[in-house]
Every structure is written in C-alpha cells, then in structure tokens.
C-alpha cells in the first residue's frame, strides 16, 4: 500500500464508509441479539476476516508479522477494552435515537482524541488543526441539538458522548500499539488488528458463556446476517489502523467525520428519516472543517 502524504486521508474516508455499513448492520442485529450480542458480532465475526487480511498483506509484501514488544500489550489491551465498551454504548443509544443523531454524538470524538493524543503520545496539535477540529465538531454538535429537547433525550445523548470518549481512548491505544511494532505500517496495522480482535472475541465469548449463554448461542446461530457486520467491521478497522500508522489519531478522526454524510444517506434511504435544516447546516460545517484540515496538510 502507498504511504504518500494523502494516503492517511484516503484510508480514513474509505474506513468511514465501511464503518457506516457496519453500524447499520449492527443496528439491525440489535433487535434480535440485544446490545451485547450485536456488539460481539463485530469482534467474533470480524476476527477471521482480519486474519485473512493479514495473510494477504504477508503474501503481497513478503514481510513476516513482528513479535510484539512489551510496550505493545498495554496499548492494544486498553484499545480493545475501551472499544468494546464504546461499541455497546453506541448501539444502546441507537436503540433509542435516530441513527444519524447517534452517529453525530459519537463524532464529538476528535476533540477528545486530540487532547488524549497530546497527553499520552505527544502528538502535536497546531492552531490550524485545532481550528479545523472545532469547526467540524461544531457541525456535529449542531446536528445533535434539538430545540425544546426534553429529558427523554438525555440518556441517548449521555451514551453517545460517553461512547465518543471511549472511542477516543481506543484510538490512542491502537495508535500507540501500532507505533510500537518494528515493521512497515500496513503489517503493523494488520498485526495489531488481529491481536485486538482476538482479545475482544475471547473476552466477550467467555463473558457471555458465563453470564448469558442464550445470547452467545443466538449470536452463533445468526452467523449468516452477522458476516456482513464482521467483514465490514474488520475492513473498516484495517483501514483505520493503516491511517493511524501514518498520522495522528486526531487527524484521522476529524476526517472520519465524513461518516456523518454516509450516515445521512443511510438515514434517508434505508431508515426513511427526514433531514432537517439544522442537520444540513451541521453537515456543511463538518465538510468545511474536514476540508480545512486537509488543506493545512
């Protein structure tokens, strides 16, 4: 894979598209498997595809996956655990609120990613970059707000914002893990993805086997509709991780706000939900912020 100056942005946009499809597939599975079951689908059925992706990378490059150093494990473990919690919270919010609006809540993530990345990894935040993040995030917040919103919207908002914070921590954990591997960026991304999904699949399977075996059985029985969510989840993660290997997580997650545009299409054509003028203005700000970030790079 190329690692030119624009590669990370191309990876991020492609990942956002794949993730939108995965989120929509998981949302449908939530109705039959519940929040935890639909969350598990992403990891359990994503792992075989991640292994296949890494195999293709090895065949194409001839590079052997590296033995992870000790510094790798705290990063990948924290990334895996926070991603589990973030996904569960996101799906729980989607069960109570518009698909587009919950996607918008979770996309307050770039501001948190920039702060976490600066503190934990030393990733710099320049003034133009901070401006772009603020503009794009303002668009997300504008889309999320509703005039006269009552307390009935407080729970999905809290779940969405908490999900964003955990996704931010997960992104920082994964970037730290990828950077600790002594190999090329795409092999590092594939290796990290495989080990992260292995951790997640084993932990959630064990938890369900002990606490709710009926859900685990239902997940295994629903393998046919789960394959799409698993494949798109693994594909999105491979692309995210490749982008994390090339630039800061804040850059990647800001460009990832284009997912709201893809969610808009899903909302309108699949779920038949209207788009308001406020949401359109928010989308315009998101596009402006992402365009500014790309321009300063």
The answer, yes or no, to whether residue 114 has pLDDT greater than 80, is yes
> Cβ distance 113 to 79 under 8 Å?
no
Residues 85-112 have a mean pLDDT of 72
- Kindly report the average pLDDT of the chain as a whole number: 83
Confidence of residue 151 (pLDDT cuts 50, 70, 90): very low
Q: Can you list the alpha helix ranges (DSSP code H) found in the chain?
A: 7-44, 46-61, 72-94, 99-106, 109-120, 127-144, 154-179, 185-211, 213-221, 223-244, 249-255, 259-269, 277-296
Q: Is the torsion defined by CA of 281, 8, 238, 164 positive or negative? A: negative
Per-residue pLDDT at 147 = 58
Confidence of residue 150 (pLDDT cuts 50, 70, 90): very low
Residues 135-161 have a mean pLDDT of 68
The answer, yes or no, to whether residue 161 has pLDDT greater than 60, is yes
Per-residue pLDDT at 70 = 95
> Cβ distance 12 to 255 under 8 Å?
yes
The pLDDT > 90 percentage for the chain reads: 30
Least confident of 114-118, 205-209, 210-214: 114-118
> Cβ distance 128 to 296 under 8 Å?
yes
Q: Which of 39-43, 182-186, 190-194, 250-254 has the highest mean pLDDT?
A: 190-194
Confidence of residue 152 (pLDDT cuts 50, 70, 90): very low
Q: How far apart are CA 188 and CA 91, in angstroms?
A: 29
């Amino acid at each position: 894979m190329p690692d030119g100056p624009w590669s990370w942005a191309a990876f991020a946009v492609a990942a956002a598209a794949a993730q939108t499809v995965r989120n929509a597939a998981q949302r449908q599975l939530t109705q039959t498997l519940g929040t935890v079951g639909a969350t598990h689908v992403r990891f359990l059925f994503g792992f075989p595809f991640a292994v296949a992706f890494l195999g293709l990378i090895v065949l194409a490059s001839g590079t052997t996956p590296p033995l992870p150093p000790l510094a790798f494990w705290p990063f990948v473990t924290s990334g895996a655990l926070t991603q589990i919690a973030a996904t569960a919270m996101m799906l729980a919010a989607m069960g109570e609120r518009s698909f587009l609006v919950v996607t918008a809540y979770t996309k307050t993530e770039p501001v948190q990613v920039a702060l976490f990345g600066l503190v934990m990894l030393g990733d710099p935040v320049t003034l133009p970059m901070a401006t772009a993040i603020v503009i794009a995030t303002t668009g997300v917040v504008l889309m999320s707000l509703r005039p006269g919103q009552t307390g009935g919207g407080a729970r999905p908002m809290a779940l969405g914002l908490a999900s964003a914070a955990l996704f931010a921590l997960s992104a920082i954990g994964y970037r730290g893990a990828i950077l600790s591997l002594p190999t090329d960026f795409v092999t590092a991304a594939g290796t990290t993805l495989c080990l992260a999904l292995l951790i997640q699949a084993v932990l959630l399977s064990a938890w369900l086997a002990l606490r709710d075996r009926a859900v685990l059985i239902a997940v295994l029985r629903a393998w046919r509709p789960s394959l799409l969510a698993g494949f798109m989840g693994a594909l999105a993660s491979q692309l995210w991780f490749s982008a994390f290997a090339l630039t800061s997580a804040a850059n990647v997650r800001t460009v990832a706000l284009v997912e709201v545009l893809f969610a808009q299409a899903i909302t309108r054509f699949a779920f038949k939900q209207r788009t308001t003028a406020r949401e359109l203005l928010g989308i315009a700000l998101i596009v402006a912020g992402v365009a500014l970030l790309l321009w300063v790079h």
